[in-house]
Structure 1
Amino acid sequence: MRYADKPLVEISGLSKSYGKHHVLNDLSLTLDPGIHALLGPNGAGKTTLVNILSTLIPYDSGSVRVLGLDPQRQRSQLQGLISLTGQYAAVDGALTGMENMLMMGQLFGLSRRDSKHRADDLLERFELTAASAKRVATYSGGMRRKLDIAASLIAGPQLIFLDEPTTGLDTRSRQALWDEINALAALGTSIFLTTQYLEEADVLAERIMVLHDGRIVADGTASQLKDRVGGSTIQVHDGAGHIIETLPTQGSAQEVAHALSALARQRPDVGITVRRPTLDEVFLELTGEPVTDQNDKQKENAPA
């Protein structure tokens, strides 16, 4: 079954509590196929939502459909269509990279031949071929992370949940994973991504949702969310590159051109940059928490 005739995710009135702690509060959301990013501070409910959508935990109330299926009542059927990569690599250190891949393929019902073919392709795409015969216990944290993600792709899922996928990856590996996510989306696979690297959401996601205190407090494209903070700002620089003045604008070509024309007449020697709001500023305005603190926490907790 393909989901082309159904929304990717349909949620209405979803609630989840642990004791007296309400993690998700009357949450409603509809997503079409594509790449979607879920942002939020620690404790906002991101992982709980992913775990519900990916069949790992039950919800308390409301309605949930993923690829047209209820993850609570049609769990087995849905599990054959999706894949989940958690915050930290879950591969078996006692096995080699190839053995991990073959094991995952067989768990998903692939023949050994098909598993080997898919494993060879994915190991090459994630630059792990040279290490495929080595025990995973000898891998670096970044290599384990890449293997974990590669293994989650072996059955060609229709929807992939990536929970903090680039935790522990260096810049080059992170860029390689971004390229792979875009390649998967181009082939028709949908991605549901949680991240605290806001650049990641900005680069990848067609739609970004901000979760705070168990509710979606913002939802839209990166550009739409940035517009909530304000328009563009023209920064005026002296010869040493120091910002000596800022001129707020709404970002239209006509308004920016008018401001630059006036600057060129009055102060032709200055330099200028036109700056758009960042997702970091959106995050701070919506949640009251600086994202740099969140990224620092993520780095502290990342695997070695």
Structure 2
Amino acid sequence: MTVRADLEALCAQPIADLGAGRTAERWLTMFDWALGGSVSVARLAEAHADAVAILREGGRDPVKGAIYGVWASVDPRYELRLDGSGTLSGTKSLCSGLGIVDRALVAVVGERGEQLLVDVEASGPTVISDVTGWATPAMFDTATGTVGYTQHPVEIVVGDDAWYLERPGFWNGAIGPAACWAGAAAGLGAYADAKAVTDQHQLVARGVLRAEAALCQTLLRDAGRDIDDHPTDQVAARRRAYVVRHLVERSATRSVDAFSRAFGPRPFVSDGHLAQRVSDLMLYVRQQHGDRELAELGGL
């Protein structure tokens, strides 16, 4: 199957709404996406689920049948501007799903400097995308690169100035990627469980991987219940997101370390799927901005 076909299959699966009483199920569904299949496809599916949640929070419906990306990264070298006539021009970097997704929620700058979110087509005659700057094989299947719009008509603006960052769901939704990190790491445990262990070190690694997976699942369940209990508490949501993202990132790092120390280089050179999983995971967890997030957590 292609990345698009795999992505369509995940996006067609039912997933619990964010903050509606079953958020723990939502995170565990994303965990399972990354556990059982491609980490890159899970990352794209998480973005689509996030886009649908954002649109619903903004009182909008997603375009029927469309698969979405969320292009909201900030890079001072690039800027997309929405002018007074409602057309979009400029460039955006780190956009995932180029040539794969149908539409995207894109963070842009309005004519008076407003921070806006627009729902636009991801391709077309006024759109140019370029993935040649993605030099690493890690997360290569996400088709991440730079996209440029030239006087592209925009019909859908979601929310008003700064709504995207200030809405309650922003920090609640930030746990979605961590759910995928956790599932990607748990995939190492599934590999270890399927292998005939040859020594005590591999048994130890298997135990570590099982414990780390259980830890992450517990974190995700607890976070989901907290979100459902306090869906609009912004300070609690931000603190919760930083804590969960940090702990899952640390757990994923411990899992990779335990696996590689016990099983050595052989799995990485003989099993392409496993090698890709580890490569994808170690890049993906860098969405947890390390000490910057910890400093912000300490300052809350």
Q: TM-score range by the shorter chain?
A: under 0.3
- The alignment's TM-score, normalised by the length of structure 1, stands at 0.27
Which structure has the highest strand share of the two? 1
- Bigger Rg over Cα: 1
- The alignment's TM-score, normalised by the length of structure 2, stands at 0.27
Which structure has the highest helix share of the two? 2
